Structure 1
Amino acid sequence: MSQLLVEYPHSRNGRCDNPLARGADGVLRYGNLTPALTELLDIQVHTHAAREAVVEIGGPRLTYRELWYSASRIAGGLQEHGIGYGDRVAVRMPVGARWVQAFLGALLSGAVPVLVHDGLPDAVADRVLRDASTDFILDGGGRAAGYRGPLPDGAAFIDDGASLGELALLCYTSPGSETGPRGVELTNENLLSAICSMTGALSLPGDGLRNLVLAPLAHASGCVDQLLPTFAVGGTVVLAPDPAAVPETLVAERIDMVSATPRIFAGLLPELAGLRVEQVRQLCSAGHRAELAAAGPAAVDSVSDTLREVFPSARQWSVWGATETSGIGLARDDDSAARDVLGFAFGGTELALCGPHAATGHGELLCRGPNVTRRYWNDPQTTESNFTGAWFRTGNQVSIDGNGLVRQAPAT
């Protein structure tokens, strides 16, 4: 790269107990990770077997033991269909307990889950499926069956031979760009590091967290940054496919954390109007409030103000990241930050600026860390253009002050 690159050394670890050490490639890494995501989850299953793992409002309620057993049966069914280590298994289903079972079933089979959002147009979804060279699709029986057909079923099976450096998940970027969605390779280390960073930064408790996850499970923000960290601390993931059920769910399910995107929170305001829920302690918004910027500053303030009224005891967090960074990277406390603030780097994420004004704290934001992908799926050209060594080029123009606080640059 001919342009100046200015690095901002790591300065905080988001209150995570797991130590970080710099590798030979300059990337910070956690020192005490389990070898694979399946092993981490297996530990929680045996520790909290009778605790609820996933609750679908209007649908199944599964304990850790029940979820693990049903997922292992799906894994066994996939094995009987010839699916094994390294094969790509797409999960294209509506949000619900069956989605979680299918995702874990693909993982336990030794295959690589490919997340395909249920709401994608067929043409875009088909492009993703072809790009991933998908070997099997878990759609619950097909679109014509309303996704309610049987999932594969066989003798319980768990492939536990994975290692930190192996591919664990294919997650696709937004289809909004000219090139369409790109497959992002996330390894076990990427996922486990993101989990460790999230549990540390948000201080997730291990005594029965009940997280109402409204963020899309087919995105890194929902799957990697909410579903998996909740499981990692033995918590309960509560899913409400019908937004109208959210107010009753908050009370009836004793919810103490709510996670969504800014747009989803904004869409919930009519349902939440007049409600006051004291027991919710944390709100986690996946992404900064740029989603609402087109509606103007008043819309941004309205969402934050209403959420404070509804959840007076809750601390509001915004987590910024990209699919390439496992959905994490920067975090901010909404109670103390202006609209243009993206936040501070947390976990093992480190930052750099690139461009002619990088030396003065302005330029394109680059990220590296144990949560950052090494490459795109089957796309060496894009990998080469979007990475400088271990640094991922986000394309975001920002400023970074002397304390490491990152702000979005004004639109030009």
Structure 2
Amino acid sequence: MSQLLVEYPQVCAEPRNAWSDNPLARGADGVLRYGNLTPALTELLDIQVHTFAAREAVVEIGGPRLTYRELWYSASRIAGGLQEHGIGYGDRVAVRMPVGARWVQAFLGALLSGAVPVLVHDGLPDAVAERVIRDSCADYVLDGGGSAAGYRDALPDGAAFIDDGASLGELALLCYTSPGLELCPKGVELTNENLLSAVRSVVGALDLPTDGLRNLVLLPLSHASGCVDQLLPTFAVGGTVVLTPDPAAVAETLVAERIDMVSATPRIFDGLLPELAGLRLDRVRQVCSAGHRAELAATDPATSDAVATTLREIFPEARQWSVWGATETSGIGLAREDAATRDILGFAFGGTELALWGPEAETGHGELLCRGPHIAPRYWNDPQTTESRFTGTWFHTGNQVSIDPDGLVRRATPD
């Protein structure tokens, strides 16, 4: 049977699904793009630093509390230190550090130096981490050193420096796919346009406020879902990213830090339920559950429903969001709000457009394809995989789904 690619135009069943009114226009390549982005991620962050200088930018429970001014200054000194080590524009700097304020400083320091940060989860086995670092051709590695002292000493220091010469189409971040998804993680190139578009889409979809959002981020910062879809959008609205290296401190943190929003994966939320049992936290207004294409196959829908039900009891005033994406889509693509049906993945949002691939595509069933301004242009140093996973501007997610006439995407149900 022949393989068909069938596009599904953006359709909103109700006004609520048109979450963002940001200007999108179709480019010459057919992709919807935002028309008023800053030239680079560093420029957007620089604007926010000057706007919200005295606000807390990042809080590490049991560690540093940094305002935007303090974070930016410390990151610029790390950038200066990297420059003194010969790191410059376009070089790769691997960040393999424990979650915390220092991770954020290292990540931003790499960005400000003009280098491309390479995100390496500090929980990866050494052999896998070394393979990722080697594949990325990293010119410098920022790692944790295995102790608090080593963690601090791992960060270079020099005269404050900021490289602001990047442009929208240039490589800004190198993320690797989850080891559980492929035998060997693959590097995914994300440009400034990809990152800025994802940030704009998340801010619009979740309607993030600019009056001091406090976001407890439990997602790994080394993944697109944590870095691109939570850390950066929170900074984009002048909010505070709260990090808890110790999971046992989550319940206390939710109260003591006056948390407005909490984000994690369904698996992380499931593991936290015993600790949160019996709590009722009316202050929390948003709960964001992020899933990726590996979890789509691995997560039991019934378990996900049970977790969502319990979270509604703990956070009765919160809007519950489920956001689905892949590293190749900057971690975003589909979203749903408090859906009652367990097989629903959601509607496309931001500039995401959908298509189906396969012999039954015309009947609404097949492999899900996505395109948009947040879709990576290619894999790092891997033209063969790029060719196999992209059809023109369309990215093959590998997930079998159905799409309703109103644009709602559901998991494919087994025969």
TM-score (norm 1): 0.96
User: In the alignment, is the contact (CA less than 8 A) between 1:292 and 1:300 conserved in 2?
Assistant: no
- Asked if 1:366 corresponds to 2:366, the answer is no
- Residues 43 and 386 of structure 1, relative CA distance in 2, 3 Å threshold: same
- Residues 80 and 14 of structure 1, relative CA distance in 2, 3 Å threshold: farther
* Corresponding residue SS for 1:171: strand
Quote how far apart the aligned CAs of 1:14 are: 4.3
1:278 to 278, 282, 287: 282
Moved more, 141-150 or 183-192: 141-150
Q: Deviations over 1:323-345 (max 9, x none)?
A: 000000000112x3311110000
Instruction: Report the equivalent of 2:232.
Output: 228
The residue type paired with residue 265 of structure 1 is F
**Structure 1, unaligned runs of 5 or more:** none
* Corresponding residue SS for 1:287: strand
Counterpart mapping for 1:156-235 below 5 A: 156-235=160-239
Instruction: Report the equivalent of 1:400.
Output: 403
User: In the alignment, is the contact (CA less than 8 A) between 2:11 and 2:406 conserved in 1?
Assistant: no
Quote how far apart the aligned CAs of 1:303 are: 1.0
Instruction: Report the equivalent of 2:241.
Output: 237
Instruction: Report the equivalent of 1:92.
Output: 96
Quote how far apart the aligned CAs of 1:301 are: 3.0
Matched residue pairs, number? Answer: 411
**Structure 2, unaligned runs of 5 or more:** none
The residue type paired with residue 240 of structure 2 is T
Counterpart mapping for 1:41-56 below 5 A: 41-56=45-60
Quote how far apart the aligned CAs of 1:291 are: 4.2
The residue type paired with residue 405 of structure 2 is G
User: In the alignment, is the contact (CA less than 8 A) between 1:214 and 1:259 conserved in 2?
Assistant: yes
User: In the alignment, is the contact (CA less than 8 A) between 1:293 and 1:300 conserved in 2?
Assistant: no
Instruction: Report the equivalent of 1:10.
Output: 10
- Quote the RMSD (CA, aligned, Å): 1.9
The residue type paired with residue 22 of structure 1 is R
2:265 to 257, 261, 277: 261
Counterpart mapping for 1:355-394 below 5 A: 355-394=358-397
Quote how far apart the aligned CAs of 1:149 are: 2.5
- Residues 387 and 327 of structure 1, relative CA distance in 2, 3 Å threshold: same
Quote how far apart the aligned CAs of 1:175 are: 0.9
| Identical-pair percentage | 84
* Corresponding residue SS for 1:90: strand
The residue type paired with residue 340 of structure 1 is D
* Corresponding residue SS for 1:66: helix
The residue type paired with residue 16 of structure 1 is S
* Corresponding residue SS for 1:169: strand
User: In the alignment, is the contact (CA less than 8 A) between 2:389 and 2:396 conserved in 1?
Assistant: yes
- Asked if 1:306 corresponds to 2:310, the answer is yes
- Residues 248 and 365 of structure 1, relative CA distance in 2, 3 Å threshold: same
- Residues 255 and 298 of structure 1, relative CA distance in 2, 3 Å threshold: same
* Corresponding residue SS for 2:249: helix
Quote how far apart the aligned CAs of 1:9 are: 1.5
2-structure distance, mates of 1:145, 1:319 = 37
Instruction: Report the equivalent of 1:350.
Output: 353
* Corresponding residue SS for 1:45: helix
User: In the alignment, is the contact (CA less than 8 A) between 1:112 and 1:169 conserved in 2?
Assistant: yes
User: In the alignment, is the contact (CA less than 8 A) between 1:257 and 1:280 conserved in 2?
Assistant: yes
Q: Deviations over 1:147-186 (max 9, x none)?
A: 3424100000000000000000000001124441000000
The residue type paired with residue 334 of structure 2 is L
User: In the alignment, is the contact (CA less than 8 A) between 2:330 and 2:375 conserved in 1?
Assistant: yes
1-structure distance, mates of 2:186, 2:200 = 25
TM-score (norm 2): 0.95
User: In the alignment, is the contact (CA less than 8 A) between 2:61 and 2:245 conserved in 1?
Assistant: yes
Quote how far apart the aligned CAs of 1:410 are: 2.0
1-structure distance, mates of 2:191, 2:297 = 33
Q: Deviations over 1:222-251 (max 9, x none)?
A: 000000000000000000111111111111
Instruction: Report the equivalent of 1:28.
Output: 32
